[in-house]
Structure formats: structure tokens, C-alpha cells
Amino acid sequence: MKDLLKTLLHLSFLIFIISSSAGAVGIPLPPPPPQVKIKMAPPSGKVYVQVKGAWVLVPAPPGDGPYVWTGEAWVIDPEPPPVGAEWVPGYWSRGHWYPGHWAVIKAPGPHFVWVPGYWKGRVWISGRWEGKHPHGHAWVPGHRGPRGRWVPGHWKKM
């Protein structure tokens, strides 16, 4: 019994030493980036973008679609949208900036098909849910046609 108590005492002392030694077991991580708050909305026709950790005032994008700031100009985002998601443009609300982002849109019911948003020239056509498929039809997802033009998703008679 005495040996058991002695062993427990030694173990607890060892655990105490290990747990109290700063940085004995750990992975050094860089400090988090500083929190920067923008205190006011930009002037009309301008938006803030984050460039190398700093907020920079730039001209607003040409539309509500998913654009990417290259450091010099806005370009159409080449990445396809996530399945079932639609682009929500950035906006100001109660003194806070909410950046543009993809948001998942829930289906209004079973058997609905998601038609993703797409670019028609320089205009963004928002995604939407299509209702139940017509009898004898199949859904053809949006795709590039033989000449590279975008063909929106549609029902095709089988």
C-alpha cells in the first residue's frame, strides 16, 4: 500500500512538471492576423477589398455576379459555383461589411433540380430550383456547346 501511494505521488508530481512546463509539448503557431474593422461605408461607387492583409478602397464591381479583384481590375470568377449555392453580393448592414459569398439554397421540396447560376455575356443569371420534371423528360445540366457558348440547364424530351 505504501509503495502504491509512493508511485501515485511520483506520477502526479511528474504530470505536474510536464503540464506546467511552457512549450514543452506544442507546435509553435504564428500569431493571428490583426483584427481590422472598417468604421464607415465606402463612398458611392467604391468598395473595400482586402489586399495583402490591408483594406483598400477600389471601384465597385460592374455587377452583382461573382467577381474576383485581381489587384488592378474586377474579373469574372472562373470557378464554377458550388452545387446548390447562389452568389450573395457583398453588402453593408448596420455599419458592418458582409463580403460576397456562396450561400446554399434549400430545395423547396422533393424532386426539385438545382439550375446553377451562369454568366450570360457580362450579366450573372442567378441559380434557381426547377420544379418536378415533366413526364417523359430528363434534366440536361448547363454546359458549353460545340462552339463554346453556354447552354443553360433545361428539360429535354426523351
Q: Is residue 118 part of a domain?
A: yes
Judged against a pLDDT cut of 70, whether residue 150 lies above it is answered with yes
Answer yes or no: are the C-beta atoms of 151 and 109 closer than 8 Å.
no
Where in the sequence is the domain holding 100, given as residue range(s)? 46-157
Q: Is residue 9 part of a domain?
A: no
Q: Is residue 76 part of a domain?
A: yes
Classified as helix, coil or strand, 2 is helix
Choose from 12-21, 48-57, 65-74 the range with maximum mean pLDDT.
65-74
Return the closest-CA partner of residue 118 out of 74, 62, 75, 78: 78
Q: Is residue 26 part of a domain?
A: no
Place of cell 450573395: 88
pTM of the model: 0.45
Q: Is residue 19 part of a domain?
A: no
Q: Is residue 64 part of a domain?
A: yes
Q: For 54-110, how does the pLDDT look when each residue is reduced to its tens digit (9 = 90+)?
A: 778 888 887 777 788 888 888 877 777 777 788 888 777 777 777 778 888 888 888
Domain count, the chain: 1
Q: Is residue 25 part of a domain?
A: no
CA distance 51 to 65: 20
Classified as helix, coil or strand, 27 is coil
Distance from the Cα of residue 138 to its chain's centroid:
31
